């Protein structure tokens, strides 16, 4: 697959390494073979890893990590052969009896009715983590072993037996069918960027609808970086209870871009992965796969990929200052908390308005906004565009 010379290089490779089987003949024969193989219903997390490997987002990985690589990544953010990688990419199960090294198995999708074949894996190793090792990984990656942390709870629920090895991906789970206008692989986004002729590209991660502050933050980043385009990249996988469904976010963000962004300045895209809520470590992973999809710059704001009070507000920015030089080629746009200034009549980064008091900003908590929407009350125009608020109110009315 040829890469445009103007695009940023993928991570750890000269070109993307998508593991989706794109050759029709190979896809057909592998699908037929998969139906005869021993099958394993994998976890949602492992399925998300397969989708990301398939789409090239996890270049240059060839499959699921073994125990040594997972422990090395947890402790030092590098694989045993020195590749920078911030979070383990695993296929964890609770029971691998009946499986053997060298065997090929079908990986069945837990997120689609009937559990169809998602990928075929060749087993290179079957290794068990002790409870102490599982908790050590959780401590290093999530910063806690607290079972109330949604990422830790999910990680520790998958089982402690790692099935490592290369995979060939046969489909993109429910993401292609449920989000046909939004789901994009890293390969497709690079093609879109090349077609648009963009050279400086800002990526914005979101698992929520975008309010005025998010919108203006993207606009600020584009202006200050002299960027050609913006890629709004929505997480389409599993969230925590209470988060707004991806279909509603998709509609709200689409309306915002349609009305308030210049034509051909922003791409609305999505990726198939479950949220880890791993704060700083996940911020690094987000930057890595945004580099793989072709972005040159990535916005990291307050409490990126965080949950509750597990991480300091700007810990996800600070971790980038502590990784080896050259570990990632993508550059950061470090953002402060943004809010609407009643004094200036515009959205600003709060650190850039030192003459303001708290009362000079329109500050609304997520809980307050959800209560307003649930009661059919539109948030103030300084907080949410009316077209966006209407879509969200409709969701809460249902």
Q: What integer pLDDT is reported at residue 47 of this predicted model?
A: 98
Stretches where the chain sits below pLDDT 50 are 1-5
Q: What integer pLDDT is reported at residue 357 of this predicted model?
A: 92
Q: 388 forms bridges with which residues in the sheet?
A: none
Q: What integer pLDDT is reported at residue 3 of this predicted model?
A: 45
For each of the domains in the chain, give its residue range(s) and CATH number, in order of start.
24-175 (3.10.400.10), 177-397 (3.40.50.620)
Q: What integer pLDDT is reported at residue 2 of this predicted model?
A: 43
Positions annotated as catalytic residues are 207-208
pLDDT in tens, 233-245: 999 987 777 778 8
Q: What integer pLDDT is reported at residue 208 of this predicted model?
A: 83
User: What does the alpha-carbon distance between residue 255 and residue 259 come to, in Å, rounded to a whole number?
Assistant: 6
**Cis, peptide link before residue 60, omega less than 30° from 0:** yes
Q: What integer pLDDT is reported at residue 366 of this predicted model?
A: 67
pTM: 0.94
């Amino acid at each position: 697959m040829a890469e445009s010379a103007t695009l940023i290089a993928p991570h750890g490779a000269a070109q993307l390494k998508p593991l989706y089987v794109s050759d029709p003949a190979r896809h057909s024969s592998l699908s037929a073979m998969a139906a005869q193989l021993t099958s394993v219903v994998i976890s949602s997390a492992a399925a998300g890893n397969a989708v990301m490997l398939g789409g090239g987002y996890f270049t240059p990985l060839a499959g699921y990590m073994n125990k040594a690589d997972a422990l090395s990544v947890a402790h030092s953010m590098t694989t045993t052969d020195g590749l920078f990688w911030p979070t383990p990419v695993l296929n964890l199960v609770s029971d691998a009896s009946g499986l053997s090294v060298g065997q090929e198995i079908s990986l069945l999708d837990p997120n689609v009715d009937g559990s169809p074949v998602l990928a075929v894996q060749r087993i290179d190793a079957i290794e068990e983590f002790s409870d102490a090792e599982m908790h050590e990984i959780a401590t290093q990656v999530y910063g806690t072993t607290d079972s109330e942390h949604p990422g830790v709870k999910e990680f520790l629920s998958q089982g402690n037996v790692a099935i490592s090895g290369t995979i060939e991906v046969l489909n993109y789970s429910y993401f292609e069918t449920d989000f046909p206008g939004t789901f994009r692989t890293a390969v497709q986004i690079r093609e879109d960027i090349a077609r648009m002729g963009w050279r400086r590209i800002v990526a914005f991660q979101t698992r929520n609808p975008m309010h005025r502050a998010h919108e203006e933050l993207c606009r600020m980043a584009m202006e200050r970086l002299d960027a050609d385009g913006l890629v709004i990249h929505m997480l389409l996988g599993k969230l925590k209870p209470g988060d707004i469904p991806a279909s509603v976010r998709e509609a709200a963000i689409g309306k915002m871009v349609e009305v308030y962004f210049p034509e051909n300045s922003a791409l609305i895209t999505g990726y198939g992965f479950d949220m880890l809520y791993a704060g700083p470590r996940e911020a690094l992973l987000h930057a890595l796969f945004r580099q793989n999809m072709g972005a040159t710059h990535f916005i990291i704001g307050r409490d990126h990929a965080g949950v509750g009070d597990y991480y300091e507000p700007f810990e996800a920015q600070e971790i980038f200052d502590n990784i080896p030089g050259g570990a990632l080629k993508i550059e950061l746009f470090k953002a402060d908390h943004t809010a609407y200034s009643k004094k200036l009549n515009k959205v600003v980064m709060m650190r850039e308005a030192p003459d303001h008091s708290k009362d000079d900003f329109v500050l609304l908590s997520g809980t307050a906004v959800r209560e307003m929407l649930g009661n059919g009350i539109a948030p103030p125009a300084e907080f949410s565009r009316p077209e966006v608020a209407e879509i969200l109110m409709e969701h809460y009315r249902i």
